[in-house]
């Protein structure tokens, strides 16, 4: 089973993921993910309406938009209303800097990798 399909299945089950753009390997480092990296806008769709074909297309777009495969991740998650989100995020080591950057980018939250939880702004 290919990696894209596994990530799609993860999202369809309502779970989230953070993967390195180049190999789509799971990110296991620390720090905080701040969405809105570069010019890659967040992709949002009702999870039930997300096809595998569209998922592949968006993932390729995000991979192509990544400029630093060491300090960026592609994140996917599903909110409480059933919307799926995909976006390119920067990994920031400082919580304070991550929260400031997220505020400037108009993000609703950052993701804390060390504690595996979202932090709302």
Q: Give just the sign of the alpha carbon dihedral 60, 61, 62, 68.
A: positive
Q: Which domain holds residue 29?
A: 3-109
Residue 121 or residue 2, greater confidence: 121
Does residue 116 lie within any of the structural domains?
no
Number of domains in the chain: 1
Does residue 15 lie within any of the structural domains?
yes
- Return the percentage of the chain with pLDDT > 90, whole number: 77
Residue 86 to residues 5, 28, 94, 96, 97, Cα–Cα distance (Å): 15, 18, 23, 24, 22
Q: Give burial (CB, 10 Å; 0-12/13-18/19+) of 54.
A: middle
Q: Give burial (CB, 10 Å; 0-12/13-18/19+) of 17.
A: middle
Pairing of strands 83-92, 43-46: antiparallel
| pLDDT at residue 8 greater than cutoff 60 | yes
User: What per-residue confidence (pLDDT) applies to 42?
Assistant: 85
| Phi, psi (rounded to 5 degrees) for 58 | -65, -45
Which residue(s) pair with 44 in the sheet?
85
Does residue 115 lie within any of the structural domains?
no
Using one digit for the tens of pLDDT, what is the confidence trace for 49-105? 999 999 999 999 999 988 888 899 999 999 999 999 999 999 999 999 999 999 999
User: 111: helix, coil or strand?
Assistant: strand
Does residue 84 lie within any of the structural domains?
yes
Does residue 39 lie within any of the structural domains?
yes
pTM, whole model, 2 decimals? 0.89
Q: How far apart are CA 75 and CA 20, in angstroms?
A: 9
């Amino acid at each position: 089973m290919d990696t894209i399909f596994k990530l799609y299945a993860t999202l369809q089950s309502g779970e989230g993921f953070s993967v390195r753009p180049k190999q789509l390997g799971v990110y296991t480092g620390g720090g905080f993910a701040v969405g809105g990296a570069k010019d890659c806008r967040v992709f949002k769709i009702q999870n039930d309406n997300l096809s595998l074909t569209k998922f592949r297309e968006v993932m390729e777009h995000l991979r192509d938009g990544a400029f630093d495969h060491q300090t960026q991740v592609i994140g996917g998650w599903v909110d409480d209303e059933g919307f799926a989100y995909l976006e390119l995020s920067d990994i920031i080591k400082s919580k304070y800097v991550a929260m400031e950057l997220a505020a400037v980018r108009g993000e609703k939250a950052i993701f804390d990798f060390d504690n595996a939880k979202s932090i709302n702004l």
